[in-house]
Chain A
């Protein structure tokens, strides 16, 4: 009954989405408040039914009901409870259900908290959400139904891919999807504005919190995915320029550009048409990412051709939504009132520069990702575009952007003073030069590029601090006044300072890890000692032990520095019998922001074991940076100006209780 109820709830959600996508539009056309309000109720009800459907699938996984094909194919009764739950979205069907659940969640949030929107805008936005949702419900029900049944269920499931049996699966896909799908809201707002034929500065403010939330989750999702790949795949790499990774990076770049251009629109009523286009593009890239990952086109163009139903369906969705919204844009954008003009040297000028670089960077990633696919389709040749291409194209685009980052916040709106900004950044520049000089002296030659890049990162961080110091008047006015000003500073200002500093922090991590990473690869026996970056790692022994659904070979290492014992590291190799495959579980030892990393290879016939040991200096900064960025985003979301027109506190409280 659970399975069938979940299935039926999904069908009802589709029916509601279809009503949500038609009735409110008619209502908005005829200015009929009752019809417009249907959008709100159906969006909330849709969320309820999808949530029920998702909960049903989770329940089926927990009780190991193998009469459901999806559970049989991706679960196993001996799997730990956590992985039974995360296994729900560790496969195609379940992850699509998570996708639509999050879509419905965002629709429900707009319905519940969109009281500050004009009624007709809210109706249009929710109707567009309804279109997207209907398309994906149909996709799930027709081609990837997670609730299909087996009449005589097998006694045991086929188990989840062992690489996915990790805490990373619990966090990464939901975060990433919250980001991907969150951009559907800015898309819906853009299409709604085009349908209404009206757009102005207020629009940017209404759409900002949604874009920010999506951006925060996408940032965290990408960072989390990168860390997961780092410790799970056993190679110590954290970014591979893999098409799947690029698919998430592209919406992030476009979304970052969108965040910045929306600020210009909000403050100066300019860049309106461009912002609309970016909103459409960002979500289009999210859809493209979904297509790339979910259609199987990446494994091989030919695999896609042999089982085309899914791929063709998503391709169809992709064409209808991207093509449809872009045609609507081409048709209606000229009718929108253009915004004001502005001087090139100004805050808005700097933000346009930022947009240019970010979209260009996004375009290079786009080409690098899709060119091999297009080539394979047209000529059948298989090529891979890897790190060298991206380092040559993406790098040069990001360097000038990084130099420009500290200038932007220091320039005034309308007419900026570049010289003045440069003067105020002198301190940051000096800090950067000092860092370069110190590193140069410390490393003596080596890679000349690395100290420069770190200097740049220091410049970005110091620039963010300078911005805060300038605004609060620190060092110029008495300290008490400065703290008072700091408290009065809009949270968005704090947010952008944190986010910009985060970029610098991540850059330091990236440069340190790629330049001063050292590795030790050898075959070791018991009591062998490996020396790396001053650390001594002694292999104490190798033991076999059974896990819940795997057997494990675990090696014990004792780590010491200058004869002082630091701790134990226990990397292991796990053998999963149900899928007859194995995974390596790397062991990590964190020292400050640096890490020691051990991963096991094959055992030789005489009992020795292949071992890869890495010392990765400052590697954690790569992920602390994005966390700082996301924290900045969070501060920005909590800014009071984004709460404009929200109901009075008492009323909001009542609303919340009603929603429970």
Chain B
């Protein structure tokens, strides 16, 4: 309500600014004129002569010239101002009284958000915690870490949250800080690797693979790292190696291990038809889907991969995965066109081209 009251006051002030001069219409006005300027120019010449700045003959010539201008200005002077016309003033007043508020409201309403109050930060920071959205809590933790970047525990808490929120790049940084400030551990290494892979759209990049290998070096039984190393092998087209890694995991695994079904599914995948690999959350989601949904999901992933490669075609493994995926989906035409694109993208790089050709040979798509 106060807001509308303020608006009304402001509108009244604006209208008043227009009405006020109209109300004083009849009064005599002081106005400047050209004659005043020329008279001053004449006196300026007198001053200059008095100071000896110009000679008397030049002064005389200038005087004549200015006087001529003065006369011309008097001749061409407008007639005296007319008394103000009441009719005109009334129409101007009506314009201000009616037009101004209508225009203002008509412009403001579609643009403004009159129902939204102010949200100064100080006031919001005092609000009780439960009422805050999750994002705000995250932001507070981030702000805390900004000031105390060596708080390893803080990074430990923040990193998985960022991962879950899909902010993979920041999660990578958080895991790195967590390793730096609260020590190395196989879990942290494999989480870091997972975040790296997630940031790369599910591809176990060389960088991610290094982290998993470190994790396995620290603890040979680190489950997540081993699973991902298998996935890396699969994505590189070394399905046999992937299968042996996963088989070894299952052999060692306690029967009640929760990750058993996942690895079994993965093993089945490489054992049977090699399908495009999925990161484990996606895999878990895919389990609960019917066939059409799953197909759609796979197609979505393949399309994303294709778009990414269109932007950056340096990734030979990516191209191989794409071609393989099209083959599995039974889309031979697309596979062949992807292959042509791949050749074009890496044509300038002999080493990559060679890797591509070898990979294609393994796929049975020679030339």
Residues of A within 8 A of B (CB): 1-5, 7-9, 11-12, 14-16, 18-19, 23, 26-27, 30-35, 37-38, 40-42, 44-45, 48-49, 60, 63-67, 77-78, 115-120, 122, 141, 145, 147-149, 151-156, 198, 200-202, 205-206, 269, 412-414, 471, 473, 484-485, 488-490, 546, 551, 577, 641, 644-645, 647
Q: Closest CB of chain B to A149's CB: distance in Å?
A: 4
Question: Across the interface, do A45 and B82 meet the contact criterion of CB distance under 8 Å?
Answer: no
Question: Across the interface, do A645 and B121 meet the contact criterion of CB distance under 8 Å?
Answer: no
Question: Across the interface, do B143 and A156 meet the contact criterion of CB distance under 8 Å?
Answer: yes
Question: Cβ of B252 < 8 Å from any Cβ of A?
Answer: no
Question: Cβ of B130 < 8 Å from any Cβ of A?
Answer: no
Complex: chain A residue closest to B81, CB-CB: A33
CA distance A141 to B32 in the complex (A): 37
Question: Across the interface, do B40 and A1 meet the contact criterion of CB distance under 8 Å?
Answer: no
Proximity string of chain B (21-38) to chain A, C-beta cutoff 8 Å, 1 when within and 0 when not: 110111001111110111
CB contact under 8 A between A11 and B104, given known A5-B3, A119-B81, A645-B40: yes
CA distance A38 to B18 in the complex (A): 6
Option from B29, B36, B69 in Cβ contact (under 8 Å) with A119: B29
Most buried by B among A16, A484, A489: A16
Question: Across the interface, do B14 and A645 meet the contact criterion of CB distance under 8 Å?
Answer: no
**Using Cβ atoms and an 8 Å threshold, which residues of chain A touch B6?**
1, 5
In chain B between 49 and 78, which residues have their CB closer than 8 angstroms to a CB of chain A?
50-53, 58, 61-62, 65, 69, 72-73, 76, 78
Given A4-B116, A641-B41, 11 extra CB contacts under 8 A? A1-B118, A8-B10, A12-B11, A32-B82, A32-B89, A41-B21, A63-B118, A64-B120, A64-B121, A66-B121, A119-B81
**Using Cβ atoms and an 8 Å threshold, which residues of chain A touch B79?**
31
- Chain A interface: which of B95-103, B151-159, B195-203, B235-243? B95-103
8 contacting pairs across A/B (C-beta < 8 A): A7-B111, A34-B84, A38-B22, A38-B92, A118-B32, A147-B112, A206-B37, A485-B51
**Using Cβ atoms and an 8 Å threshold, which residues of chain B touch A67?**
116, 118-119
**Using Cβ atoms and an 8 Å threshold, which residues of chain A touch B116?**
3-4, 67, 149, 151
Complex: chain B residue closest to A52, CB-CB: B10
Option from B10, B21, B36 in Cβ contact (under 8 Å) with A34: B21
Complex: chain B residue closest to A3, CB-CB: B118
Most buried by B among A34, A38, A206: A34
Question: Across the interface, do A63 and B120 meet the contact criterion of CB distance under 8 Å?
Answer: yes
Question: Cβ of B85 < 8 Å from any Cβ of A?
Answer: yes
Question: Across the interface, do B114 and A4 meet the contact criterion of CB distance under 8 Å?
Answer: yes
Question: Across the interface, do A35 and B121 meet the contact criterion of CB distance under 8 Å?
Answer: no
In chain B between 308 and 367, which residues have their CB closer than 8 angstroms to a CB of chain A?
none
Question: Cβ of B258 < 8 Å from any Cβ of A?
Answer: no
Question: Across the interface, do B21 and A40 meet the contact criterion of CB distance under 8 Å?
Answer: yes
Main SS of chain A's interface residues? Answer: helix
Q: Closest CB of chain B to A266's CB: distance in Å?
A: 8
Question: Cβ of B88 < 8 Å from any Cβ of A?
Answer: yes
Question: Across the interface, do A19 and B95 meet the contact criterion of CB distance under 8 Å?
Answer: yes
Question: Across the interface, do B82 and A115 meet the contact criterion of CB distance under 8 Å?
Answer: no
Question: Cβ of B292 < 8 Å from any Cβ of A?
Answer: no
**Using Cβ atoms and an 8 Å threshold, which residues of chain A touch B18?**
16, 19, 23, 38, 41-42, 45
How many A-B contacts at CB < 8 Å in the complex?
229
Question: Across the interface, do A33 and B84 meet the contact criterion of CB distance under 8 Å?
Answer: yes
Question: Across the interface, do B113 and A44 meet the contact criterion of CB distance under 8 Å?
Answer: no
Question: Across the interface, do B85 and A32 meet the contact criterion of CB distance under 8 Å?
Answer: yes
Option from B17, B20, B103 in Cβ contact (under 8 Å) with A18: B103
Question: Across the interface, do B17 and A154 meet the contact criterion of CB distance under 8 Å?
Answer: no
3 closest A-B pairs by beta carbon, nearest first, are: A34-B25, A45-B17, A63-B120
Most buried by B among A5, A117, A473: A5
**Using Cβ atoms and an 8 Å threshold, which residues of chain B touch A3?**
116, 118
Question: Across the interface, do A155 and B140 meet the contact criterion of CB distance under 8 Å?
Answer: yes
Question: Across the interface, do B122 and A1 meet the contact criterion of CB distance under 8 Å?
Answer: no
**Using Cβ atoms and an 8 Å threshold, which residues of chain A touch B99?**
15, 19
CB contact under 8 A between A154 and B121, given known A19-B95, A414-B61: no
Q: Closest CB of chain A to B134's CB: distance in Å?
A: 11
Question: Across the interface, do A30 and B140 meet the contact criterion of CB distance under 8 Å?
Answer: no
Question: Cβ of B124 < 8 Å from any Cβ of A?
Answer: yes
In chain B between 100 and 144, which residues have their CB closer than 8 angstroms to a CB of chain A?
100, 103-104, 107-108, 111-114, 116-122, 124, 132-133, 135-136, 139-140, 142-143
Complex: chain B residue closest to A117, CB-CB: B32
Question: Cβ of B259 < 8 Å from any Cβ of A?
Answer: no
Question: Cβ of B47 < 8 Å from any Cβ of A?
Answer: yes
CB contact under 8 A between A200 and B103, given known A30-B85, A64-B120: no
Complex: chain A residue closest to B77, CB-CB: A118
**Using Cβ atoms and an 8 Å threshold, which residues of chain A touch B303?**
none
Question: Across the interface, do B14 and A37 meet the contact criterion of CB distance under 8 Å?
Answer: no
Option from B69, B118, B146 in Cβ contact (under 8 Å) with A269: B69
Question: Across the interface, do A202 and B10 meet the contact criterion of CB distance under 8 Å?
Answer: no
CA distance A119 to B33 in the complex (A): 9
Question: Across the interface, do A202 and B13 meet the contact criterion of CB distance under 8 Å?
Answer: no
Complex: chain B residue closest to A45, CB-CB: B17
Question: Cβ of B290 < 8 Å from any Cβ of A?
Answer: no
Q: Closest CB of chain B to A130's CB: distance in Å?
A: 12
